[in-house]
Amino acid sequence: MYKFARPRIFASRCLGFEACRWNGAIINTEITRRLAPHVDFITDCPEVAIGLGIPRDPIRIIEHEGELELYQPANGLDLTEKMRKHTAGFLDSMPQVDGFILQSRSPSCGPWDVKIYNGRSPKAQTLRRAAGFFGGEVLSRFGSLPVEDEGRLTNFTIRERFYTQIFTLAEFRAVRASGRASRLVEFMSHHKLLLMACHQREQKTLGHIAASHEGLPFDMVLDEFETHLLLALHNGPRRNGAINALMHALGYFKKELKTQEKRYFLELLDEFRNSRIPLSSLNSVIKAWIERSDESYLRMQSFFEPYPSDLVDISDSGAGRDY
Ligand code: SF4
């Protein structure tokens, strides 16, 4: 059984770790509970960290004289500078992480879709929506990493992409920590089909970087590799890319498959191309063939199991199911 690297993930502390919301509540979310056995979490509650108690009067983002302010209407407190200082200090000293799970719509943690009010009056109207103070700084510093809010992660496709990204990035962090060029070659070989399914051009660039870096400082090679890895993983596996990867896998069984088996697989591929069946239906067929023929190269491909199987959960909030 493949041993997955443990992703290091930042999560808003109210997402199942502590009852620290403004009203003293905790958010019982599935996502952090399911991930807990596989992930090392780093958490923070920026509002508690700047000295607001639990419970506390709610805060909001307002636009005042053309500037955004973090404001507590009940007592007229401007918390902007305190929050900026805490956010910068926390993110400066945080160890490298592989992704973020932030509380949606919070004026502090929300990465997007946070209400911005028109002025300090308690009766002010919503002007527009933007990022919270902490969430916005996360995006501006770490926007190339996987950043999601817990609401979006109830969507099957978004969750699957997030898991794929964080487990792949955690493994790359282990490659970097090892300092060994051979680990980079192994990484490339393990993820070849997955990267092909995500972004074929970047997969080729990554293959080239991993294979031809002699004479260059290894840290520099890893930095360049990481830049292209993040680009490759950004959108997760795409439908056309997945079809390429599956055709590539099919090639390994060319000689041993009966004509009817090939025809059946190509029919399934057509169904998948037309969004009538999920990728997992084709992967199950290939996995059965891998077992039958003991195909070791395909067996090690992360494309067929990019994250631990007990995280597979087909529940879906509905929107955005397509690749
Ligand atoms: S959203 Fe962020 S600031 Fe608000 S309670 Fe949760 S962790 Fe604390």
**Ligand 1 contact, 45 CB (< 6 A):** yes
**What torsion, rounded to 10 degrees, do the Cα atoms 220, 222, 228, 230 define?**
-130
> To the nearest 5 percent, what fractions of the chain are helix, strand and coil?
50, 10, 40
CA distance 16 to 9: 14
Nearest residue by C-alpha to atom 5 in ligand 1 = 21
For residue 108, give the ligand 1 atom closest to its CA.
Answer: 3
Q: Cβ distance 194 to 168 under 8 Å?
A: yes
Cα of 149 from ligand 1 centre, angstroms: 12
Give the distance (Å) from ligand 1 centre to CA of residue 95. 20
Q: Where are the alpha helices (DSSP H) in 191-312?
A: 192-198, 200-211, 218-233, 239-251, 259-273, 279-293, 296-299
Residue of 155, 156, 167, 243 lying closest to 198 (CA atoms):
243
Q: What is the pTM of this model?
A: 0.94
Average pLDDT over residues 294-307: 94
d(CA 312, CA 304): 12
Q: What is the pLDDT of residue 244?
A: 96
Give the separation between CA 219 and CA 209, rounded to whole angstroms.
Answer: 12
> Is any atom of ligand 1 closer than 6 Å to the C-beta of 21?
yes
Q: Coil, strand or helix: which one is 11?
A: strand
Residue 51 pairs with which residues in a beta bridge?
none
The 10s digit of each residue's pLDDT in 114-146 is: 999 999 998 999 999 999 999 999 999 999 999
User: Which residue has a Cα nearest atom 8 of ligand 1?
Assistant: 45
Q: Single out the residue of 88, 111, 115, 114 nearest to residue 100, CA to CA.
A: 111
For the record, the structure tokens of 207 come out as 């293959």
In the predicted structure, residue 310 carries a pLDDT above the cut 80? yes
Q: Quick one: which H or E segment has residue 165?
A: helix 156-178
Identify the DSSP state of 95. P
Angle at 34 between CA 90 and CA 234, to 5 degrees: 60
Beta strands per DSSP E along the chain:
8-12, 40-44, 60-64, 67-72, 77-78, 99-102, 114-118, 126-130, 147-149
Cα three-residue angle 209-214-220, rounded to 5 degrees? 60
Assigned token pair, 255:
């000689």
Q: What is the mean pLDDT of residues 13-27?
A: 98
Q: How many of the other CB atoms lie within 10 Å of CB of 211?
A: 11
Cβ–ligand 1 distance for 87 under 6 Å, the answer no
From ligand 1's centre to the CA of 141, what distance in Å? 19
pLDDT-derived band of residue 280, with 50, 70 and 90 as boundaries? confident
Check residue 152 and report its DSSP letter: G
Closest residue (by CA) to atom 7 of ligand 1?
45
Structure confidence at residue 318 as a pLDDT band (50, 70, 90): low
Q: How far is the CA of 134 from the centre of ligand 1 (A)?
A: 10
**202: which DSSP letter?**
H
Using CA atoms, how far apart are residues 222 and 218, in angstroms rounded to an integer?
A: 6
- In the chain, % of residues over pLDDT 70: 97
- Ligand 1 neighbour 20 (Cβ under 6 A): yes
Give the model's pLDDT for residue 320.
Answer: 47
- Preceding omega of 278 cis (within 30 degrees of 0): no
| Mean pLDDT computed over every residue of the chain | 94
When pLDDT is averaged across residues 168-196 and rounded to a whole number, the result is 96
Using an 8 Å Cβ cutoff, are 153 and 99 in contact? no
Mean of the pLDDT values across residues 211-238?
Answer: 93
Sort strands 99-102 and 8-12 into parallel, antiparallel or unpaired: parallel
Ligand 1 centroid to Cα of residue 268, in Å, is 45
Average pLDDT on 179-191 reads 95
* Whole-number Å distance between alpha carbons of 286 and 293: 11
